[in-house]
Amino acid sequence: MRLQEQPFQVLVTLLENAGRVVTRDDLRQKVWPADTFVDFDHSLNTAVNKIRESLGDSATSPRFVETLARRGYRFIAPVDGMDAEGDTRATTPPTQVAFAATPAAANEILHPELHVPFPRRALVRGLFVLIQVMYLIFYLSALSHLRDVDRVASSFLTDGKSMLLVGAVLITGTLGIPLRFYLISAAAFDFRKLGEKFRRLFPFVLALDQIWAVAPFLLLPQIGIGLAFAATAALLYVPFSERTLIRLAYQEN
- Which amino acid is residue 16, in one-letter code? E
Provide the pLDDT confidence category of residue 105 given band limits of 50, 70 and 90.
Answer: very low
Provide the pLDDT confidence category of residue 185 given band limits of 50, 70 and 90.
Answer: very high
Higher pLDDT, residue 115 or 10:
10
Can you give the C-alpha Rg of the chain in angstroms?
A: 26
Provide the pLDDT confidence category of residue 179 given band limits of 50, 70 and 90.
Answer: very high
Q: What is the pTM of this model?
A: 0.58
User: Which residues, in sequence order, are CB contacts of 12 under 8 Å at separation 6+?
Assistant: 94, 97, 98
The per-residue pLDDT of the chain, averaged, comes to 80
**pLDDT of amino acid 172:** 92
Alpha-carbon span 140 to 145, nearest angstrom = 9
pLDDT (tens digit per residue) in 22-61? 888 888 888 876 655 556 777 888 888 888 888 888 888 8
88 to 25, 61, 65, 80, 98: CA distances (angstroms) = 21, 25, 17, 8, 10
Provide the pLDDT confidence category of residue 93 given band limits of 50, 70 and 90.
Answer: very low
Q: How far apart are the first and last CA of the chain?
A: 29
pLDDT at 216 > cutoff 80: yes
**Residue range 116-145: mean pLDDT, rounded:** 90
pLDDT at 89 > cutoff 80: no
Domain residue spans of the chain: 5-106, 121-249
pLDDT at 201 > cutoff 90: yes
DSSP notation for the chain: ----HHHHHHHHHHHHTTTSEEEHHHHHHHHS-TT--S-HHHHHHHHHHHHHHHHT--SSS-SSEEEETTTEEEE-S--TT--TTS-STTTS-HHHHHHHS-HHHHTT-B-TTT-SB---HHHHHHHHHHHHHHHHHHHHHHHHTHHHHHHHHHHHS-HHHHHHHHHHHHHHHHHHHHHHHHHHHHHHTT-TTHHHHHHHHHHHHHHHHHHHTTGGGGGHHHHHHHHHHHHHHHHHHHHHHHHHHHHHHS---
**pLDDT of amino acid 55:** 83
- Which amino acid is residue 167, in one-letter code? G
Provide the pLDDT confidence category of residue 94 given band limits of 50, 70 and 90.
Answer: very low
**Residue range 220-237: mean pLDDT, rounded:** 89
**pLDDT of amino acid 241:** 94
pLDDT at 186 > cutoff 90: yes
Architecture category of domain 5-106 in CATH: Orthogonal Bundle (1.10)
Alpha-carbon span 83 to 74, nearest angstrom = 18
| Range of weakest confidence among 13-17, 29-33, 77-81, 151-155 | 77-81
Query: Residue 11: which of 81, 83, 73, 78 has the closest Cα?
Result: 73
